[in-house]
Amino acid sequence: MNARPKCIFSFTLLFSVSLLFISSQGCSPVADPHKGGLFGYSPELYEQRAAEKKEKLKQLEDEGARAKSQQSKMNTDLVAQKKALAQIKEKTAALEADLNKLRTTLSDQQQSTTAAKKKKQELIQHLAALEKESQELHTNDLSLAKKQERIEELEREKKRLQEEAELLSTMY
């Protein structure tokens, strides 16, 4: 009979210590069932923790959506900037081509101006020769028909000189 009370005492002691250990663990309920064990788990705290995690997930998804939207806007801006840059390059190339044409034209005009000045000088000399010849017709002993014929030639030459002078003046 003695063996039975010892066994009951040992069992009671073990049960009391286990109960004391479990109750000390179960004093503060936790939301995580992995940490709280069987008796320290609180369903209300678990629901609260689940709601917080869902809210955090929603915030992260919202941030991801904003980041995607911002990236899309930045890609659109980049495409627009590349297009604008291409247009600027085209306009710059066209402007450079126009400037090269103008430079060539100015160079040609400078050469033409030199040639025009030379031509103008020739026209002035030719005009002076015509004037001299016209004055000589007054003192020359040519026949009247010859004088008339020479006057007509001089008038044609004068008209040609006037046309050349007008052409030179309109060119420059």
Q: 45, 30 in Cβ contact below 8 A? A: yes
pLDDT for 41 equals 60
How many distinct helices (H) and strands (E) make up the chain? 4, 0
The Cα diameter of the chain in Å comes to 185
pLDDT for 65 equals 95
Pick the closest to residue 40 from 57, 53, 23, 56 (CA basis). Answer: 23
Q: Give CA–CA dist 21/34, Å, rounded.
A: 17
Walk along the chain (172 residues) and give the pLDDT tens digit of each residue. Answer: 455 666 666 777 777 767 666 655 545 555 555 565 555 566 787 788 889 999 999 999 999 999 999 999 999 999 999 998 888 888 888 888 888 787 787 677 667 677 777 877 887 787 777 777 777 766 766 666 677 777 788 778 777 877 877 777 776 5
